[in-house]
């Protein structure tokens, strides 16, 4: 019961965070939409609508389990417990950020929670397999989870990683987050099979498809896959259907969507559905919900305030942590 409310709270925190970033992102960029200018420099890929994937899976992980995530990373980072202040400062390009403001929103690295992400599509699969190989060699019961979009399942790294993970039977779970599009390209135009989970057969591992963007169904499938991995039974591929409620990036005109497509996704908002479920089952009261909304509001405000008040890095910082010719 408590666990369900915790999951709901985390989903609400993610949504509030993403909505807040969407608003702040436009600061200083208009009227000509200059991507490099403003409070948040660089591109911005938001994951509102995809909260069930992160929360349903990561709620079964421990602090020292490893998560690798893609260029759309905030929901995974928040679910894994990355410090909201440090993460926000990183996104704002401030010196107090996780990587002293040099990574930005697609490059959040947090040794504390064993979380990382990358702007290179498909880059998270091999390091997850590497972490899983280390866990099995060290005799630890940890698990690594690699999250990526359905577009990333057509990268070589996906197939190479599934092959080695299956061969070595290491404790890794691959999660394909299918939001139907890779930028503007629908899956049907890029992928030879209807379901990425079918690709698991080629590597002799279980492949599970979870429809409906439903946090409880996702949680159930993830629990089984993570337990298998923890018990030494090797990798699983999960394909999870989801929907993104913003564009591919902030500023995306979304001309590729069909009429009414976005509205139909909004009507199936996974947080609203989960909230109704919890209220109906008396797991959550209206009062508790209001308290949660206040709490998440405060947490987001606090993180944004911290980031706004932090300084930008010194120019000399550009030469730190990089290879320079002597
Ligand atoms: C190796 C590589 N190729 C191309 C790109 C440009 N790119 C950024 S996001 C993206 C689409 C990714 O789609 P998907 O994996 O479905 O993730 P989603 O954006 O839907 O979350 C592409 C092609 C990139 N960042 N890295
Ligand atoms: Mg996608």
75 CA → ligand 2 middle, Å? 15
Are 206 and 238 contacting, i.e. CB atoms less than 8 angstroms apart? no
Atom nearest to 71 CA in ligand 1:
9
Q: How far is the CA of 119 from the centre of ligand 1 (A)?
A: 8
Looking at residue 326, what is its pLDDT? Answer: 62
Report CA-CA distances (Å) from 90 to 79, 86, 97. Answer: 17, 6, 4
Query: Which residues form the pocket of ligand 1, taking CB atoms under 6 Å from any ligand atom?
Result: 70-72, 119-121, 148-152, 179, 181-183, 248
Q: Whose CA is nearest to atom 17 of ligand 1?
A: 149
Q: How far, in Å, from the CA of 148 to the mean position of ligand 2? A: 8
Q: What is the pLDDT of residue 130?
A: 98
- Which CATH number is associated with domain 2-308? 3.40.50.970
- Taking the centre of ligand 2 as the mean of its atom positions, its distance from the CA of residue 211, in whole angstroms, is 15
Task: State in Å: Cα 209 to ligand 1 middle.
Answer: 21
- Residues lining ion ligand 2 (Cβ < 5 A) are 149-151, 179, 182
Q: Which residue has the CA at smallest separation from atom 8 of ligand 1?
A: 121
Return the residue whose CA atom lies nearest to atom 11 of ligand 1: 182
Tell me the CA distances in angstroms from 32 to 28, 99, 251, 252, 313, one per residue in order. 10, 29, 11, 14, 26
Atom of ligand 1 at shortest range from CA of 72: 21
Atom of ligand 1 at shortest range from CA of 152: 15
Compute the C-alpha angle 279/78/35, nearest 5°. 115
Where do the domains of the chain lie? 2-308
Ligand nearest to the CA of 247: 1
Nearest CA to ligand 1 atom 19: 182
d(CA 71, ligand 1 centre) in Å:
7
Instruction: Report which ligand 1 atom has the smallest distance to the Cα of 50.
Output: 21
Predicted pLDDT of residue 100? 96
180 C-alpha to center of ligand 2: Å? Answer: 5
Look at residue 2 in the predicted model and tell me its pLDDT: 65
Closest ligand 1 atom to Cα of 178:
16
115 near 127, Cβ under 8 Å?
no
- Please tell me the number of the ligand nearest to residue 118's CA: 1
Residue nearest to atom 2 of ligand 1 (CA): 121
- pLDDT score of 104: 96
Contacts 24+ apart (CB under 8 A), 294-302: 295/9, 296/9, 296/12, 296/13, 296/16, 296/17, 297/16, 299/13, 299/84, 300/13, 300/16, 300/17, 300/20, 300/84, 302/84, 302/85
Give distance in angstroms: CA of 179 to centre of ligand 2.
5
pTM above 0.75, yes or no: yes
Q: Which atom of ligand 1 is nearest to the CA of 248?
A: 19
Splitting the chain (326 residues) into consecutive groups of 10 residues, what average pLDDT does each group show? 90 98 94 88 97 98 98 98 98 97 97 98 98 98 98 98 98 98 98 98 98 98 98 98 97 95 96 98 97 98 98 92 77
């Amino acid at each position: 019961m408590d666990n369900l409310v915790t999951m709901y709270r985390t989903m609400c925190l993610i949504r509030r965070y993403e909505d807040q970033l969407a608003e702040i992102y436009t600061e200083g960029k208009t009227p000509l939409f200059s991507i490099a200018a403003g409070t948040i420099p660089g591109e911005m890929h938001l994951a509102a609508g995809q909260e069930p994937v992160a929360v349903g899976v990561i709620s079964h992980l421990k602090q020292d389990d490893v998560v690798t995530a893609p260029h759309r990373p905030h929901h995974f980072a928040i679910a894994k417990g990355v410090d909201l202040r440090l993460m926000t400062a990183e996104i704002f390009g401030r010196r107090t950020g996780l990587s002293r403001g040099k990574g930005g929103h697609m490059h959040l690295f947090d040794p504390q929670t064993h979380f990382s992400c990358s702007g290179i599509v498909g880059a998270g699969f091999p390091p997850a397999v590497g972490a899983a190989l280390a866990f099995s060699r060290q005799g630890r019961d940890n698990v690594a989870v690699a999250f990526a979009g359905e577009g990333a399942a057509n990268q070589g790294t996906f197939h190479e990683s599934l092959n080695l993970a299956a061969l070595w039977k290491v404790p890794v779970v691959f999660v394909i987050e299918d939001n139907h599009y890779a930028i503007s390209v629908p899956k049907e135009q890029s992928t030879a099979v209807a379901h990425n989970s079918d690709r698991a057969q080629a590597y002799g591992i279980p492949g599970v498809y979870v429809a409906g963007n439903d946090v409880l169904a996702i949680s159930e499938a993830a629990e089984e896959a993570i337990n298998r991995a923890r018990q030494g039974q090797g990798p699983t591929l999960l394909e999870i259907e989801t929907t993104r409620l913003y564009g591919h990036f902030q500023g995306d005109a979304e001309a590729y969507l069909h009429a009414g497509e976005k509205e139909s996704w909004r009507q199936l908002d996974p947080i609203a559905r989960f909230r109704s479920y919890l209220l109906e089952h008396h797991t959550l009261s209206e009062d508790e919900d209001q308290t949660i909304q206040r709490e998440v509001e405060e947490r987001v405000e606090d993180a944004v305030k911290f980031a706004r008040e932090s300084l930008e890095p010194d120019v000399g910082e550009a030469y730190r942590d990089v290879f320079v010719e002597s």
